[in-house]
Amino acid sequence: MRLILVVVFFLQIINCAKAQSQLTFTEVESRSYKLYSEQKWDSLIDYIHAANKTGVDYYYLQARLGAALYEKKKYRSAAFTFQKALNYNSADSYAKRSLYYSLLNSTNTTASRYLSGKSESIRKETDTLGYNKMGFVYLEGGAKISNKGEPLGNISYFNLGLRHAAGRRLSFYHAFSYLGQVKHSLQIKQYSYYLGAWMQLGVNWKLCPSAHFFWINTSPQTQGQQGPPRPPVSSSKSNEQAFSLVLQRSFRVFDLGAMASYNNFDGIKAGQFGGYLTLYPFGSNVFSATTTAVYHTRKMSAYQTILKETLNFKLLKFLWITGEYAYGNEQVQLQPEAAFPANNSLDPNNYRYSILLTSPISKSVSLYGFYQHEDKNENNTNVAYTFNSIIFGLKIKL
């Protein structure tokens, strides 16, 4: 008899729970639609999150949440919300279009192009509006100024870059650069070509291979009228290469990446292996923080482990700022947007910090300025010195 009473008691609890669940679903549908109709986006976001915690979720709820996040300019969070809505209804055109524009506005242009290739209606609409064009030209130049004057010499720098799309899931970045320096009575001219690619493997998966080629000409500096005679030196030419590969997986509030590189700078073969984590705590690109850890196979002074912290945020309506601090000698640039001087010197970095300011001056043109301080030791003499880089550039949309 006691067993029967216990069973009846639990059956009543289960029935009440089912009734409560059904009631909650009805209430959520009514309340969320009302908030959506009234465009009370903050209240709608909070309410749907609370409903999800109780186990209530379905297509229209995620579609409304995505719309609210989009209206609040939280494009990254909106993109993942519309992906979840498509898990409930994969054929829905509204969620697909909303996902496309969420990716586009979160600056994930390769993913948006990839998605447009999966839908004929999105492709026709967005191609007509010109949203799928990915042509950019970069022009930048500046100097690296040494505190040691003539022995190490300042460096002049110029770069021309081009980014363009190839199909719906692939884009390339080409960079041609020149670097000139007079160092220890030697005139050094370095020419380089960089080729990087963004390969979209899926909406949230990206593969980024790159190759960097250097041609270095070294010749005696022309003897001036004053000063003691310099010992004779011979001219020389050398070629160096660097290759890298990055695999990235995007999640709702962070990106996770693994990376590897190989180089033969100064005839010494070396590799770098590591990873990074980029956080987007506000669900948009307005603020992000990246932590990078890299291990270098060649011992360069005491710095085989490289740690780097990067902050990127919107300072004003038309001004973006990127700050970075790095400890150690990360030689290979793994994901450059613009080029900046490549670090193929074997002189180890003790640390470096930099700041990048970017401001759009029209719909097609952005101006950026870059400052970097490097604290280094000369590889052969262990003499400490610094470099201060000042670079200005233009990014022009084609």
Do 99 and 244 have their domain in common? Answer: no
Residue 121 sits in a domain of what CATH number? Answer: 1.25.40.10
User: Among residues 105, 129, 153, which one ends one of the domains?
Assistant: 129
Please tell me whether residues 106 and 41 are part of one structural domain: yes
Both 148 and 124 in a single domain? no
Same-domain check for residues 313 and 379 = yes
Shared domain check, 190 and 118: no
The answer to whether position 7 is within a domain reads no
Residue where a domain stops, chosen among 70, 95, 129: 129
Query: Are 216 and 67 found together in one domain?
Result: no
Is residue 140 domain-shared with residue 77, that is, in the same domain?
Answer: no
C-alpha dihedral sign at 184, 186, 187, 193: negative
- Nearest alpha-carbon partner for 220 in 248, 183, 175: 183
Global confidence as pTM: 0.86
Buried b vs exposed e over 72-93: b needs ≥16 C-beta within 10 Å? bebbbbbbbbbbbbbeebeebe
Question: For the domain that residue 343 is a member of, what is the CATH number?
Answer: 2.40.160.40
Q: Which residues pair with 290 in a beta bridge?
A: 278, 310
Expressed as residue numbers, the domain containing 340 is 136-223+233-397
Residue 275 identity: G
* Per-residue pLDDT in tens (0 to 9) along the chain, 398 residues: 555 544 444 445 444 444 444 437 889 999 999 999 999 999 999 999 999 988 899 999 999 999 999 999 999 999 999 999 999 999 899 999 999 999 999 989 899 999 998 888 898 888 887 777 778 999 999 999 988 766 677 899 999 999 999 988 999 999 999 999 887 778 889 999 999 999 999 999 999 999 999 999 988 866 554 555 555 567 788 899 999 999 999 999 999 999 999 999 888 888 999 999 999 999 998 999 999 999 988 876 556 888 999 999 998 888 999 999 998 877 776 655 566 777 777 788 889 999 999 999 998 999 999 999 999 888 777 888 899 999 999 999 98
Distance of CA 337 to the CA centre of its chain: 8
Count how many domains the chain has: 2
For residue 262, count CB atoms less than 10 angstroms from its CB and return exposed for 0-12, middle for 13-18, buried for 19 or more: middle
Residues 149, 123 within the same domain? no
125 plus 205 within the same structural domain: no
Same domain, 172 and 89: no
Q: Domain end: 102, 129, 156, which one?
A: 129
- Residue 302 lies inside a defined structural domain of this protein: yes
Same domain as 283, residue 192: yes
Same domain, 203 and 350: yes
